Structure 1
Amino acid sequence: MPLRLIFMGTPDFAVPTLLELAAHGHEVAAVYTRAPKPGGRRGLQLQPTPVENEARRLGIPVLTPKTLKTPEAQEEFRALDADAAVVVAYGMILPQAILDAPRYGCFNLHASLLPRWRGAAPINRAIMAGDAESGVMVMKMDVGLDTGDVAMAERLPISDSMTASDLHDALAPLGADLMVRAMGGLERGGLQLKKQSEDGVTYAAKIEKAEARIDWGKPAHAVLRHIHGLSPFPGAWCELPGEGEPARLKILRCELARGTGAPGDVLDGNLAIACGDGAIRILELQRAGKAPMKASDFLRGAPLTPPVRLG
């Protein structure tokens, strides 16, 4: 018999899971998401979250409470009489009263191979750390930070060509399928849970703006992973020399290249840049106030050749 679910999620990453649960016949009693924020060209219009847009298209009631800590919010949640809650990048801490309300508990889809990269930015951190693989896990939630027992997992290799956007887009449908299988197991009474290991715990702290500046003194592979781990947002950046104040240049995609030089040196006319050990070649970039572009398009308007050095 299909489950009666509450879905809790906010960004694009959560949308495939909501759609798959609905497509597999589960009753989604309500969707919880973050409240609309000002957006649009002038920031004057309230922009619903991607999850809210899909929920309303499916005709599912949407709730956007500012907190889940009040007795009123908790009673409203309990009154939905759900078998389980599915949580995907909701962006709000669930108090114990909420975790305890559904018949079988709350289940989170997390974009890492727990216990590695608990926390806010697992996709970015896995790439930036040079990890060989990532994945998704379904975890029964407790009051800790991604410390709950794990039900199911899927792994995915991380190549050097993958940006955070690429990995995000690969993990989202993988996670949706995994959650559907987990809810199927819960429905049949066969979902098994396993405690997380105490070994290998790492935390994926929120990305800070100060981290985005590129350190050309690092080895080329570390520079590449730093760039890709922050692409497209917030975007790893360097300074483009010129007359007056240096212009900020975001680098969105690159590859390893041959060549040596002082860190930051432009080595040829095709944007090979020297690092502390080895070099990278810029493939996609973005100037301040401009749209992202291919390196070849950038070079047609602003050729960079030795002896230029990026700051």
Structure 2
Amino acid sequence: MEAENHTGLSQFLLQGLSDDPELQPVLFGLFLSMYLVTILGNLLIILAMSTDPHLHTPMYFFLSTLSFTDVCLICTTVPKLLVNIQAQNKDISYIQCLTQVYFFLLFLGMDNFLLTVMAFDRFVAICHPLNYTIIMNPWLCVRLVLMSWLIMFWVSLIHVLLLNQLTFSTGTEIPHFFCELSHLLKVASSDTLVNNIFLYVVAALLGVFPVTGILYSYSQIVSSLMRMSSSVSKYKAFSTCGSHLCVVSLFYGTGFGVHLSSAVTHSSQRTMIASVMYTVVTPMLNPFIYSLRNKDMNRALGRLLSKAASSV
């Protein structure tokens, strides 16, 4: 194939999840359903927390931000997938692909940081309850979120600028259902050494430090709980961490599963199926995890739905 640079390349081809025509309506219905459930569930979480004064606390501020990033994350990949299935084509323009890479990295990284910040919030609440309101003041909460946005803004931008320097062959097919950075680097025609070095360094830093922070926070939480004499107090304190632990396990478990599947198998189909877990399924399940395991959230959602029903 004739190689072209990025200025002459107008589009890529996305392999998609399946070429079977009989599966296309099933895939369209499945992903449309998951997309709508994710949008509705996370928006309900955001509305409930913004309208209920009892939920105007640091924990729920971070949770509403997480719900917002989950909505943005699924909006980055699924709409284009649905359009391609409905139109029965695999095209994605070069600009759309780079845009998808940028926002996917941005929102995925934000999920990573927010889960770490939420672990720190639980650590302060359980290990330093008397100083909780002083330490987790609104200004610190806003600064933690803004710092996370700023870091991921620049990391994602550098990735895209480096990607923009690569050349690709005409009609390049990406073995995925969206423009995923590592897959783009594999199909590039030019040398990707700098891109791969930056990718691995960033993945190591943004993986090791947040996970270390989460593990440290929970080690201190467990240590604090062990010193409590009352089993009721232990259960009440740790119950506030249950939803967060479920989301953390789901997020990092599915992410690890994707990288493990890509390392042990060369099947792009299996890798794509594993990717669906953390790009689509995880954002969809997060609202259910927090609403089902949280009494305050259940009450807030009940009041919100009651208001909506009475106004009809």
Q: TM-score range by the shorter chain?
A: under 0.3
Higher relative CO (CA 8 A, sep ≥ 6), structure 1 or 2?
A: 2
TM-score normalised according to structure 2 size: 0.25
Larger radius of gyration: 1
TM-score normalised according to structure 1 size: 0.25
